[in-house]
Chains A and B, each alone.
Chain A
């Protein structure tokens, strides 16, 4: 049992390595015919069993019409194989950023799919460990889908290989392809409540009178990835304008410094989690804050931009930007 599991693990690892080797990282990939794999499904095994039963009937009753029907089903099986293969063919897959998430949540990446001159039916998209999204596109239609990948640790995260598969039209074959998109997400630390914030010095407080907050509507701002969708102005979107977000202002509370040195008793990741919690809490309370990390310091400020910057700094701290093979190769592509 254990041995079997280890063997399975080993197989998966080998396969993932093979897939990664065969599919270099790209921004965009057209699924040409050489990238499509195809194998019969379990339903095909049932179908073949049916064919055998029918063949037996035909042989034993010497019934040529049953022979004919059996051969028709065999032919349909073969033709459907070509159709299944063709369904995926020439689909264009493009990486389109990600939705920021906290550690432990499923990471969410956006992928843009563009159908070729024929429809793409029943396309299943999945990252390993993530959920399956099903998509059907008419000829030359395109769509952006948000895909959930496996949950990640704080820091930089890559969703791994994207798998596209479909069984259309008869479910007797499954065609699939792998795409290794250049997709990197920064994962914020998981907020952990706790601790008390030491009182901060008053020098930075004086300048600010009003910061972005929750109370009074102050205007609209263009949507950027990461903005809370709860504040989206759906009304303007319906009028055909780009998606905008309502901005609110709020009276200022007293400001605070968030420092790496505050909770020496905690481990490294717990400190990130604690800081993250306080960033979010101060944002909720609409209080300006500054962030001091070993390699980076954010000056005292408030508002959405400050929170974004703080969360990003928390995510990036301590992890050097991964050197990617794709970067080296990209020159040759141009």
Chain B
């Protein structure tokens, strides 16, 4: 069998490999790209007959080089990328030994795999489109292997599309219906860039780097009403331990979940979280229940494993609530503890204010807020603080951001004997009215305070609001636009130019598209059950099988139907075919060498009733053959149709006569038998 590759098929091979590998080259070390370029060059030289296929020892040496490169560039943490580099290198070497169709198929299958692996690193809409194009090219190369016609690549691509386009509805069907199962075993994934987002401790000054970033933190899609901006407090971490300088998570999260005693104003929503490489999940204050994660201790949502890829969870929250009105001795003690040998001025101030407010908690809080309102400045570039950082902030610099204000407030409260703690998370979010969801970015990161009121339980207090109330009422980007630190590290960020008008609209539309992509494609497994239930009612194996098989059969039937033999466009051919069919029905099959006129003459010998029509046909056909310019095509078509009609009538008459004769015969036989 002729299994050797045609030159065109070889060109396709090179195109296919490059299409599949190109996106990977962006994340692989330079030497992989060089290796691929070199192998392609050698392959082209071999193809042009200038060089010969390399002998085995050169291939072995190349393989050794590849291993060295892999050992040099990758380690345990970048195992996945190392695997990709190995696959790319292997494919490049395979280029040097493609002789037959089978070799080419190995390379094509590797290319498919490389396209799939691409999605482990990048899952955007653009990546999906690029992969689809690469897929078409790789498939084109596979078709080229089995199509010996030498054609331009474009019609060849069209042939490939004829295979891909009917496959798309089938793919959608499978995508929607095939049930997703959880991972069979845990797999390594490169953690990639350093973790961003919230950290497990807050020393005022740490959050500033986050506040400036426009990176997406998460999106929240609401089923019902959307909270107003002043209600958008996303709780992620609760810091209870204070060492005089930094706040950290309680060593023991505490198995006891704080109870929500009254809850009013419920929100039900789904959050699609970007990879944070941390287990903590932001939820709207205060969460009542979380699907897909645990609620622990001070109502913090914690995932079972760090969020290393985009994932989603459903939450129900209450906007007005009473949280844990009775505090037990241990948590009371923990939320009052602070090092008494530091920040002495702050402690003194706290006792003074507590006395002045006569032990009334509300007055004390108001005192703090008015203090911050007087001379404090909200800035993203605060000065560095020394040993007694809270003292220094309150009495010297008086410049800082949410972390500074929250930290100072919590210490003031504790010093006054009020249990208090720091809460870290996000505040705000941009509402996309068209799609009904909130986008929260890293610059929305925020810290506030919760203090314990014996009558109301834990109460949220945002001291930063006292300094700059606009921060609560407006989105971060509107407020910070004039701040020197805002987006300082991203001079070309698109957000700088899209603060108003149609650009803002366009950005929101693109963001909405991304959100749908994440929700319906990347995290489809979370929607699948609901969708299937709404389509099928109860989900049973039988219904699933039917839902898969019936549309599947329809699609495949449509594919087959599209390929069926078409009716000829030529009326003459159609008329000839009809005549041929009728004649065959009468037992006259046209011989390959026979003309229609000859067939007509042959039939004439038996069907004398139809002879005028048959004669005419034979005559016209003959004239058509010998002097075609004198005969009208329409005349011949008419003659053919007429003959077909006459013969059909004739055959009906014959069959009727036969039937009658048969009937008569039986009757006679019956009569004969009874007579005897």
- Is there an interface contact between A79 and B167, defined as CB atoms closer than 8 Å? yes
Chain A: number of interface residues, binned into ranges: 35 or more
Interface assignment of B170: CB less than 8 Å from any CB of chain A: yes
How far, in Å, is A83 (CB) from chain B's closest CB?
7
- Is there an interface contact between B163 and A76, defined as CB atoms closer than 8 Å? yes
- Is there an interface contact between A134 and B171, defined as CB atoms closer than 8 Å? no
Partner of A66, one of B101, B116, B559: B116
Partner of B178, one of A47, A50, A71, A76: A71
- Is there an interface contact between A124 and B1, defined as CB atoms closer than 8 Å? yes
Which B residues are in CB contact (< 8 Å) with A78? Answer: 167, 170, 556
Q: Which residue of A lies closest to B128 (CB)?
A: A65
Interface assignment of B501: CB less than 8 Å from any CB of chain A: no
Q: Which residue of B lies closest to A169 (CB)?
A: B143
- Is there an interface contact between A75 and B174, defined as CB atoms closer than 8 Å? yes
- Is there an interface contact between A82 and B120, defined as CB atoms closer than 8 Å? no
Which A residues are in CB contact (< 8 Å) with B572? Answer: none
A100 to B167, CA, bound (A): 50
- Is there an interface contact between B116 and A75, defined as CB atoms closer than 8 Å? no
Interface assignment of B456: CB less than 8 Å from any CB of chain A: no
A154 to B584, CA, bound (A): 40
Which A residues are in CB contact (< 8 Å) with B592? Answer: 27-28, 94
Interface assignment of A64: CB less than 8 Å from any CB of chain B: yes
Interface assignment of A53: CB less than 8 Å from any CB of chain B: yes
Which B residues are in CB contact (< 8 Å) with A64? Answer: 175, 521-525
- Is there an interface contact between B167 and A57, defined as CB atoms closer than 8 Å? no
Interface assignment of B168: CB less than 8 Å from any CB of chain A: yes
- Is there an interface contact between B113 and A54, defined as CB atoms closer than 8 Å? yes
- Is there an interface contact between A62 and B525, defined as CB atoms closer than 8 Å? yes
Interface assignment of B320: CB less than 8 Å from any CB of chain A: no
How far, in Å, is B415 (CB) from chain A's closest CB?
48
Contact with B along A83-102 (1 / 0, CB 8 A): 10010011000100000000
- Is there an interface contact between B163 and A170, defined as CB atoms closer than 8 Å? yes
Which B residues are in CB contact (< 8 Å) with A71? Answer: 170-171, 174-175, 178
A72 to B138, CA, bound (A): 13
- Is there an interface contact between A79 and B148, defined as CB atoms closer than 8 Å? no
Interface assignment of A333: CB less than 8 Å from any CB of chain B: yes
- Is there an interface contact between A121 and B149, defined as CB atoms closer than 8 Å? yes
- Is there an interface contact between A168 and B119, defined as CB atoms closer than 8 Å? no
Interface assignment of A136: CB less than 8 Å from any CB of chain B: yes
Which B residues are in CB contact (< 8 Å) with A79? Answer: 163, 166-167, 170, 556, 559
- Is there an interface contact between B521 and A65, defined as CB atoms closer than 8 Å? yes
Prevailing SS type, chain B contact patch? helix
How far, in Å, is B149 (CB) from chain A's closest CB?
6
- Is there an interface contact between A75 and B187, defined as CB atoms closer than 8 Å? no
Interface assignment of A326: CB less than 8 Å from any CB of chain B: no
Interface residues on chain B, number (Cβ under 8 Å): 64
A168 to B101, CA, bound (A): 13
How far, in Å, is B667 (CB) from chain A's closest CB?
30
- Is there an interface contact between A60 and B135, defined as CB atoms closer than 8 Å? no
Which A residues are in CB contact (< 8 Å) with B142? Answer: 170-171
- Is there an interface contact between A65 and B146, defined as CB atoms closer than 8 Å? no
CB contact list, A47-79 vs B, under 8 A: 47, 50, 53-54, 56-76, 78-79
Interface assignment of A203: CB less than 8 Å from any CB of chain B: no
- Is there an interface contact between B189 and A61, defined as CB atoms closer than 8 Å? yes
Interface assignment of B255: CB less than 8 Å from any CB of chain A: no
How far, in Å, is A178 (CB) from chain B's closest CB?
18
- Is there an interface contact between B163 and A72, defined as CB atoms closer than 8 Å? no
- Is there an interface contact between A62 and B183, defined as CB atoms closer than 8 Å? yes
- Is there an interface contact between A132 and B525, defined as CB atoms closer than 8 Å? no
Q: Which residue of B lies closest to A73 (CB)?
A: B112
Interface assignment of A229: CB less than 8 Å from any CB of chain B: no
- Is there an interface contact between A56 and B184, defined as CB atoms closer than 8 Å? yes
Interface assignment of B589: CB less than 8 Å from any CB of chain A: yes
Contact with A along B309-323 (1 / 0, CB 8 A): 100000000000000
How far, in Å, is A35 (CB) from chain B's closest CB?
15
Partner of A67, one of B139, B178, B563: B178
Interface assignment of A156: CB less than 8 Å from any CB of chain B: no
Interface assignment of A334: CB less than 8 Å from any CB of chain B: yes
Q: Which residue of B lies closest to A80 (CB)?
A: B163
- Is there an interface contact between A170 and B143, defined as CB atoms closer than 8 Å? yes
How far, in Å, is B241 (CB) from chain A's closest CB?
35
Specify which of A74, A132, A167, A170 lies most central, judged by the most chain B CB atoms within 10 Å of its CB. A170
How far, in Å, is A28 (CB) from chain B's closest CB?
6
CB contact list, A145-191 vs B, under 8 A: 167-171
Interface assignment of A290: CB less than 8 Å from any CB of chain B: no
Interface assignment of A213: CB less than 8 Å from any CB of chain B: no
CB contact list, A103-148 vs B, under 8 A: 116-118, 121-122, 124, 132, 134, 136
Which B residues are in CB contact (< 8 Å) with A28? Answer: 592
- Is there an interface contact between B164 and A76, defined as CB atoms closer than 8 Å? yes
- Is there an interface contact between B178 and A116, defined as CB atoms closer than 8 Å? no
Which B residues are in CB contact (< 8 Å) with A54? Answer: 112-113, 116
Interface assignment of A280: CB less than 8 Å from any CB of chain B: no
A78 to B181, CA, bound (A): 24
Contact with A along B650-673 (1 / 0, CB 8 A): 000000000000000000000000
Given that A71-B175, A169-B146 are known contacts, is A50 also in contact with B170, CB under 8 Å in the complex?
A: no
Interface assignment of A43: CB less than 8 Å from any CB of chain B: yes
A71 to B183, CA, bound (A): 18
CB contact list, B99-117 vs A, under 8 A: 101-102, 105-106, 109, 112-113, 115-117
Interface assignment of B560: CB less than 8 Å from any CB of chain A: yes
Interface assignment of A193: CB less than 8 Å from any CB of chain B: no
Which B residues are in CB contact (< 8 Å) with A27? Answer: 592
A66 to B175, CA, bound (A): 10
A100 to B164, CA, bound (A): 48
How far, in Å, is B521 (CB) from chain A's closest CB?
6
Interface assignment of A46: CB less than 8 Å from any CB of chain B: yes
How far, in Å, is B559 (CB) from chain A's closest CB?
5
How far, in Å, is A63 (CB) from chain B's closest CB?
5
A79 to B166, CA, bound (A): 7
Which B residues are in CB contact (< 8 Å) with A75? Answer: 166-168, 170-171, 174
- Is there an interface contact between B167 and A69, defined as CB atoms closer than 8 Å? no
A333 to B139, CA, bound (A): 45
Contact with A along B150-172 (1 / 0, CB 8 A): 00000000010011101110110
- Is there an interface contact between B1 and A132, defined as CB atoms closer than 8 Å? yes
A59 to B135, CA, bound (A): 21
- Is there an interface contact between B123 and A117, defined as CB atoms closer than 8 Å? no
- Is there an interface contact between B131 and A65, defined as CB atoms closer than 8 Å? yes
Q: Which residue of B lies closest to A92 (CB)?
A: B592
- Is there an interface contact between B116 and A69, defined as CB atoms closer than 8 Å? yes
Given that A57-B120, A75-B174, A167-B146 are known contacts, is A47 also in contact with B559, CB under 8 Å in the complex?
A: no
- Is there an interface contact between B131 and A47, defined as CB atoms closer than 8 Å? no
Which A residues are in CB contact (< 8 Å) with B105? Answer: 43, 46, 171
Interface assignment of B484: CB less than 8 Å from any CB of chain A: no
Which B residues are in CB contact (< 8 Å) with A53? Answer: 113
How far, in Å, is A31 (CB) from chain B's closest CB?
12
Q: Which residue of A lies closest to B167 (CB)?
A: A75
Partner of B149, one of A59, A82, A136: A136
CB contact list, B117-147 vs A, under 8 A: 117, 119-120, 123, 127-128, 131, 135, 139, 142-143, 145-147
- Is there an interface contact between A168 and B146, defined as CB atoms closer than 8 Å? yes
How far, in Å, is B121 (CB) from chain A's closest CB?
10
Which B residues are in CB contact (< 8 Å) with A170? Answer: 139, 142-143, 146, 163
- Is there an interface contact between B163 and A50, defined as CB atoms closer than 8 Å? no
A117 to B119, CA, bound (A): 42
Given that A72-B167, A134-B2, A169-B143 are known contacts, is A57 also in contact with B560, CB under 8 Å in the complex?
A: no
Which B residues are in CB contact (< 8 Å) with A72? Answer: 135, 164, 167-168, 171
Cross-chain pairs A/B with CB under 8 angstroms, 19 sampled: A28-B592, A50-B109, A59-B180, A64-B525, A67-B180, A68-B521, A69-B112, A75-B168, A76-B139, A78-B167, A79-B559, A82-B559, A83-B163, A117-B566, A136-B147, A169-B146, A170-B142, A171-B145, A334-B589
Give 3 nearest A-B pairs by CB, closest first: A75-B167, A75-B170, A71-B174
Apart from A71-B175, A76-B167, A333-B589, what are 7 other A-B pairs with CB-CB below 8 Å? A59-B183, A60-B183, A60-B185, A74-B171, A75-B168, A76-B163, A118-B563
